[in-house]
Amino acid sequence: MIRTSRGRRRLGVVVGALAGSALALAGCSAPVASGPEQITFSYLWGGAEAEAIEAIIADFNASQDEVEVTGISSPDFQKQLTSLSASQGSFDISDHFGNAVGSWASKGILAPLDELLAANGVDPAGFAPASIEQLSYDGQIYSLPIAVHTFQLLYNKTLLAEAGVEVPTTIEELETAIAALTKVEADGTITQLGLGDPSPSTTITTLGYAFGGDWDADGAPSPTDAGNVQALQWYYDNLVAPVGADQLAAFKSGLGEYMSPEDPFYTGKYAMVIDGEWRAVNIPSTAPDLDWGVTSIPYVSTALADTTQLTVSTLFIPANSAHKEAAAKFLAYLVSDEGATAFSLALGNLPAKLSLVGSPAYDDIPEFSVWLDALAGDNVHALSSAPYSAEYSTDLGLAFDEVLTGASTPEAALQKVADNSSNYATE
């Protein structure tokens, strides 16, 4: 349920004053009494996720008497940005995604966190390195990860067994599996895809890393990096060309809603997908009869084994908050082992802290360890968060569409992005 944001309330009440001239002359006054400092946590989650957040807020409020948090569910990005841009905002802490940090920090609407984290004993070195890299700008940290996500290869065990396909470990094995698991009628109608793409852009950028590419080399857009071009060409050659762009588009237009009972992976329309850890929580409740597994993304070379892309759900403090120190205390609680575990379990996400990778708290989630173990690997990459990130992401999406529809080659499409990047925002 979406609730309308309301302004911050300060409940500290000054009780008493001078009791009279006699007391004043005597230098006596009534003591000043104050309650906990009030802050507002405006969060983007709703429904069952909001209920879980409210439980964590209640635990924090009960754990101490210095700060009292009021939670507000407000899943409205524009409203969030409007508050951040005002002289006086409507909340003291909120959440967003890592790719916005560079743009927002460059505009001065996020509070730098380094000193606040140090004051509350939060060590950034305890988090997945790629997440902190994405949440830093101009040498300072402007947001902290409340949860992170990695991408792995999910597969339908039944369909693989029927096709006589082993779980692929190399990119060559994946090519063979895709071909064997793709089914096309005589008239060209597709009935099953070997590898589906819940999010083509995420799948392609992840494959770019798997092919040794870098989308942000030396802190600048590098779409034409050889590994990126190779990955996009591989995607086209193995997923589009064999079935035809038009037939592929027609097939996708009839697919069910993502992570619903009609999700194409759950109904056998997709034999494999590259997707995030939230699937491990969604499948048992939405598709309990699905016999599935998950493995690392097949590697191009052993040096690139266990490559994955990391994305970040973040917490930040607005620059216009009047209660930054109090908000930082709550932030420290949310990213503590206790808070981070409760939060990640409630949302079915990965904890950002490396100390929790081996926690038994996640043992009951099926196959979760495949995503979780990836956090500690050497081949974990995150797209840069920079002032130009939104423009870059849009241009990459357009380039991918051009290639997948057959309108352009990978080299030409990505070169167009490189040409456009000279006009990107730098601050």
Question: What is the model's pLDDT at position 94?
Answer: 97
Is 317 a domain residue?
A: no
Q: Is the pLDDT of residue 13 over 50?
A: no
For residue 398, the one-letter residue type is L
Task: Specify whether the CB–CB gap between 306 and 377 falls below 8 A.
Answer: yes
Q: Is the pLDDT of residue 311 over 60?
A: yes
What percent of the chain is predicted at pLDDT more than 90?
84
Is 239 a domain residue?
A: yes
Question: What is the model's pLDDT at position 285?
Answer: 94
Question: What is the model's pLDDT at position 114?
Answer: 97
How many structural domains are present in the chain? 1
pLDDT band at 427; cut points 50, 70, 90:
confident
C-alpha count within 13 angstroms, C-beta hemisphere, residue 220: 11
In tens, the pLDDT along 27-69 reads: 444 444 478 999 999 999 998 889 989 999 999 999 999 999 9
Question: What is the model's pLDDT at position 219?
Answer: 86
What percent of the chain is predicted at pLDDT more than 70?
92
Task: Specify whether the CB–CB gap between 318 and 91 falls below 8 A.
Answer: yes
In tens, the pLDDT along 233-283 reads: 999 999 999 999 999 999 999 999 999 999 999 999 999 999 999 999 999
Mean pLDDT of 317-324: 97
Question: What is the model's pLDDT at position 346?
Answer: 86
Question: What is the model's pLDDT at position 9?
Answer: 34
CA dist list (Å): 290 to 168, 182, 283, 348, 365: 19, 19, 8, 18, 15
pTM passes above 0.85? yes
pLDDT: which is higher, 226 or 342: 226
Is 187 a domain residue?
A: yes
Question: What is the model's pLDDT at position 34?
Answer: 73
Q: How far apart are CA 161 and CA 170, in angstroms?
A: 18
Q: How many degrees, rounded to 5, is the angle at CA 221 between CA 220 and CA 227?
A: 120
pLDDT band at 6; cut points 50, 70, 90:
very low
pLDDT band at 426; cut points 50, 70, 90:
confident
Q: Residue 252's domain is classified under what CATH number?
A: 3.40.190.10
Question: What is the model's pLDDT at position 235?
Answer: 97
**Residue 203 domain boundaries:** 150-309+383-423
Of the candidates 100, 408, 386, which has an alpha carbon nearest to the alpha carbon of residue 221?
386
In tens, the pLDDT along 131-182 reads: 999 999 999 999 999 999 999 999 999 999 999 999 999 999 999 999 999 9
Of the candidates 125, 121, 129, 122, which has an alpha carbon nearest to the alpha carbon of residue 148?
129
Question: What is the model's pLDDT at position 17?
Answer: 36
Is 9 a domain residue?
A: no
In tens, the pLDDT along 261-275 reads: 999 999 999 999 999
Q: Is the pLDDT of residue 8 over 60?
A: no
Q: How far apart are CA 163 and CA 176, in angstroms?
A: 11
Q: What is the mean pLDDT of the chain?
A: 91
Is 417 a domain residue?
A: yes
Mean pLDDT of 381-389: 92
Is 185 a domain residue?
A: yes
SS3 content of the chain, % helix, strand, coil (to 5): 45, 15, 40
Is 282 a domain residue?
A: yes
Largest CA distance in the chain: 102
Question: What is the model's pLDDT at position 48?
Answer: 81
In tens, the pLDDT along 198-221 reads: 999 999 999 999 999 999 998 899
Q: Is the pLDDT of residue 100 over 50?
A: yes
Is 61 a domain residue?
A: no
Task: Specify whether the CB–CB gap between 81 and 318 falls below 8 A.
Answer: no
